[in-house]
Structure 1
Amino acid sequence: MFAGVACSDDSGDDKADAGSPTGPAAPGANASGGGASGAKKVSITVNCKPPRTAEVDRKQWEEDVDTFQKANPNIKIESKDSFPCSDPTTFEAKLSGNQMEDLFYVNYTNVQTVLARGGAADLSSYMTKIVADKELRPDLVKYFQDPSGKTFGVPRTNYSMGLVYNRALFTKAGLDPNKPPATWDEVRAAAKKITDSGGGAVGYADYSASNQGGWHFTAELYSRGGTAVSPDGKTGTVDSPQGKAVLQTLHDMRWTDNSMGSKQLLTINDVQQMMGSGRLGMYLAAPDNIPTIVNEFGGKMADLSLAPMPEGKGTLAGGDGYMFNKNCTPEQIEAGLKWLDFLALTPGKGLNDWARGKKDKEPVGLPEPAIWTGAAAKSNTDLKAQNATLPVENYQTFTVATVPAVAEPPQGQQIYSVLDGVVSSVLTKKDADIDKLIGDANSKITQLLSK
């Protein structure tokens, strides 16, 4: 399935996808709802159509546009395929120049920037019904809200972090692979057993370079119930019992238990390679790491499992969705919401057509996206299980867990850079002064936030 990213500009595929231009459809209706023959015609531009290099994703997008427009002959979807969609500089330029499409893709981390520029239409009058009808997770909808509670966007996908672990190494160490560690104390104990089982295995690995150590520190902080910044975004809050506990656990696994190996200053590629080689017991990651470990680093799919974050008090989360240009008419908004209902909000359709994914030989069965609650969530899970090409039972504990999603902090990369040095010091210096390191980092974060 297409994993979209924010489009760079609208100079790509300007040709509208086939179908007659049409008029507004009631938001929340499905693609089979049809359009009244006398309804006003409406056209909407939508960015981030998959590029030609992503053949399967592009084929599926075009199939979806065709299906939708046949069912809604008064709505015309004009797809834009300019890439790379993830270019933040171009996103900023388009936003500043009011050049965004009618319906434009946005990462969760860019939503507040859009709101600060006044670049999106207010969807509040529509979203109450949509959230209820589609059983969308309120915590994900909240990413698109301003401080007053008004809603300006619709979630499309999400990710959250968990504990990836090697079932074969668990079994070798005498651990039950169906009962993964649920606390950081249990992670530490399991890591030591895996290391002590021999064969050069490393029990647990973590990042500590290229800002990734700070990113993972924040994830571990959230899992213990801590925060990186104050609610008003003005003060660092990492100098806390939870922050110190994160560092103490890493220090003890590295230096007391020797369960993290001697090689440090690792990044994501290093750790994925370790997991793919079968030498690593555990590390923190989102579900999308699993296909990468298998496809790029030779891992065995059957050996890989995913558990919820230890402690479970929070998980660093992200994702994406769509917002509407502030200049859209009500008719365009209604048409766009109907398109999103089909594309992203309904299990079994559009991006969530798992039967099509299986037919197209895509990986089906990962426990995300997970944007729904209640019956909708169950329907999506059941459809994935019926069409799974992956061992879904290996992700069951992650799938059924309810861990609060916590957004990345403001000025995230700058904060991660500060915390990177803290983590690397703890993992490379046995006598690292944790209190001083975390205190100094907290002061630097507060200075960053004051600028």
Structure 2
Amino acid sequence: MSRPWSPAVPRRTFALLAAAGLVLGTTACGGGGDPGSSAGGKVTITVTGQPPTSQPFERGVFDADVKEFEAAHPNIKIEPHEGFMDPKTFGAKLAGGQLEDVYYVYFTDPAQIIARHQAADITEAARKVPHVNDLKPELLDNFRGPDGKLYGLPTMNYTMGLLYSRPLFRKAGLDPDKPPRTWDEVRAAAKKISALGNGIVGYADYSKNNQGGWHLTGWLASMGGSVARKDGGKWVADFDNEKGRAALNLLHDLRWTDDSMGSKQLLEAQDVQRMMGAGQLGMYMAAPDNVPVLVKQFNGKYEDYGIAGMPDGKGTLLGGEGYMINPKASPEKIKAGLEWIQWKYLNPDRFEKHIKQYVDGKQPVGLPAEPTPDVWQGAVRDQQLALKAKYANVPAQNYQSYVDSTSRIKGSVEPPNAQQVYAILDSVMQAVLTDRNANIDQQLSTASAKVTSVLAQVK
């Protein structure tokens, strides 16, 4: 499915994603279909995920990792390809023998890929991969098929939270070290922040380009609900209910009763980020990757932002990315591909070195999801958090509420055919945020029928 702006992949900038889709669609590879080994006994594998030259730090780290990996694994040669995943070209590349041996996926894609037999079964091979059992089980489950077999590995994870302006909290008489824990507290804080005047908005939300539907899914998750559920083996819509009404009624009250969301609506990510970067916004729903975007693209300061767990704490929307392996790959290529994925992305032995790369490159260390991924549990997660605290160069304490919440709030993955679902739900968000008298029951009923129809296409 197409992600022109890709909410599901938080650590990629929108520009990068657009470029990635173009690069991935035109890359010539020759990998995947051949059986595999080059002269001298080396196994050559093609891999996606190389950042573009427009991101020199990230590109430099990736290329250096390739050289280091090849030096440590003289029997494996890595042939990196720029870009990530363009769902529009994926099937054609696979059929034409041009899909890379190791390819990147969003969390919304594995179920469909597995159903279409477009990924290799790595169940047995993965048993020998170090630290697989230290990964969060719910993330691994996203790469399991109905047969219980494993078809990929997660390499990055995010959950939604509440991003807020610490300076505006202080100006409004709120404690920035005690962010809202419920939606009622968000509403109360938004009223106080909006009361500061001068065009300041207490709370903002997205409502177009599929982003409104994505955020409405986050609202439902926080209240213990969901957009979709399985009923007798089939997916159906699951929001035309009390939880759906509660979410939309609260949005309505924030917008119309309290006037805490401002008059300008039909916003998307860049609009809201621009408001926050300019010091004109108190809060919005976001993943931690938004913080460096605010700093690097919208003139913000790391010390000005905090992140809390999702209000109400009954759930949160979970997203991320991972890697799968071409179903045509030979056993040798599967083994080599798993060695690359583990060494590059899932390697606690390289935590400290990777963090130091960020420190030396004057990149932020101490944010919840960077520079090492939040995919771990138990002792490995403790090791990771200790190292990030040791080398932190941003105020990590500002994000502690979010970090604490991720260990206790259950995350739910995005629905199948997510972008089509989000497009339908955009209209619901737009109606509530632009029409004081919008019929919420009618909006939910109409959208539910459309979403169920879209979900019926899921195999």
Is this a same-fold pair by TM over 0.5? yes
Query: In structure 1, what is the equivalent of residue 364 of structure 2?
Result: 363
Question: For the Cα contact (< 8 Å) 2:105–2:321, is it kept in 1?
Answer: yes
Question: For the Cα contact (< 8 Å) 2:30–2:97, is it kept in 1?
Answer: no
* Match among 18, 21, 28 for residue 11 of structure 1: 28
Question: For the Cα contact (< 8 Å) 2:307–2:401, is it kept in 1?
Answer: yes
Query: In structure 2, what is the equivalent of residue 440 of structure 1?
Result: 446
Q: How far off is 1:305 after superposition?
A: 0.7
SS of the residue 1:260 aligns to: coil
Per-residue CA deviation, residues 195-223 of structure 1 (Å, 9 max, x unaligned), is 22444321111112222211111110111
Question: For the Cα contact (< 8 Å) 1:8–1:87, is it kept in 2?
Answer: yes
Query: In structure 1, what is the equivalent of residue 264 of structure 2?
Result: 263
SS of the residue 1:8 aligns to: helix
Alignment of 1:164-203 (within 5 A): 164-203=163-202
Q: How far off is 1:415 after superposition?
A: 1.6
Q: Partners in 1 of 2:30 and 2:401 — Cα distance?
A: 42
Alignment of 1:159-238 (within 5 A): 159-231=158-230, 232-238=233-239
Q: Partners in 2 of 1:160 and 1:146 — Cα distance?
A: 23
Question: For the Cα contact (< 8 Å) 1:46–1:101, is it kept in 2?
Answer: yes
Q: Partners in 1 of 2:445 and 2:259 — Cα distance?
A: 26
Q: How far off is 1:425 after superposition?
A: 1.3
AA partner of residue 69 (structure 1): E
Shift in alpha-carbon separation, 1:327–1:448, aligned structure 2, 3 A: closer
SS of the residue 2:229 aligns to: coil
Question: For the Cα contact (< 8 Å) 2:29–2:46, is it kept in 1?
Answer: no
Query: In structure 2, what is the equivalent of residue 30 of structure 1?
Result: none
Query: In structure 2, what is the equivalent of residue 32 of structure 1?
Result: none
Q: Partners in 1 of 2:52 and 2:351 — Cα distance?
A: 17
AA partner of residue 107 (structure 2): Y
Give the TM-score normalised by the residue count of structure 2. Answer: 0.86
Alignment of 1:19-418 (within 5 A): 41-81=42-82, 83=83, 85-128=84-127, 130=129, 135-231=134-230, 232-347=233-348, 349=350, 353-368=354-369, 369-401=373-405, 402=407, 403-418=409-424
* Match among 406, 414, 420 for residue 426 of structure 2: 420
Question: For the Cα contact (< 8 Å) 1:120–1:325, is it kept in 2?
Answer: yes
Q: How far off is 1:69 after superposition?
A: 2.0
Question: For the Cα contact (< 8 Å) 1:155–1:371, is it kept in 2?
Answer: yes
351-360 or 291-300, which deviates more = 351-360
Aligned length, in residue pairs: 427
Per-residue CA deviation, residues 72-99 of structure 1 (Å, 9 max, x unaligned), is 2222222233x4x343222232133342
Question: For the Cα contact (< 8 Å) 2:29–2:98, is it kept in 1?
Answer: no
2-11 or 381-390, which deviates more = 2-11
SS of the residue 1:157 aligns to: strand
Q: Partners in 2 of 1:337 and 1:45 — Cα distance?
A: 12
AA partner of residue 376 (structure 1): V
Q: Partners in 2 of 1:194 and 1:169 — Cα distance?
A: 7
Q: Unmatched 5+ residue regions in structure 1?
A: 15-19, 24-39
Question: For the Cα contact (< 8 Å) 1:229–1:409, is it kept in 2?
Answer: yes
Per-residue CA deviation, residues 262-292 of structure 1 (Å, 9 max, x unaligned), is 2211111111111111111100011111111
Q: How far off is 1:300 after superposition?
A: 2.4
Superposition RMSD on alpha carbons, in Å? 2.5
Give the TM-score normalised by the residue count of structure 1. Answer: 0.88
Q: Unmatched 5+ residue regions in structure 2?
A: 1-10, 32-36
Q: Partners in 2 of 1:336 and 1:356 — Cα distance?
A: 24
Per-residue CA deviation, residues 105-131 of structure 1 (Å, 9 max, x unaligned), is 222222223212212111112435647
Shift in alpha-carbon separation, 1:352–1:437, aligned structure 2, 3 A: farther
Question: For the Cα contact (< 8 Å) 2:46–2:81, is it kept in 1?
Answer: yes
SS of the residue 1:349 aligns to: helix
Q: How far off is 1:9 after superposition?
A: 5.0
Shift in alpha-carbon separation, 1:185–1:295, aligned structure 2, 3 A: same
SS of the residue 1:323 aligns to: strand
Q: How far off is 1:174 after superposition?
A: 1.6
Query: In structure 1, what is the equivalent of residue 8 of structure 2?
Result: none
Question: For the Cα contact (< 8 Å) 1:366–1:395, is it kept in 2?
Answer: yes
AA partner of residue 59 (structure 2): R
Q: Partners in 2 of 1:352 and 1:210 — Cα distance?
A: 39
AA partner of residue 389 (structure 1): N
Question: For the Cα contact (< 8 Å) 1:123–1:152, is it kept in 2?
Answer: yes
Q: Percent identity of the aligned residues?
A: 47
Runs ≥4 in structure 1, deviation > 3 angstroms? 2-10, 20-23, 126-134, 197-200
AA partner of residue 368 (structure 2): P
Shift in alpha-carbon separation, 1:322–1:350, aligned structure 2, 3 A: farther
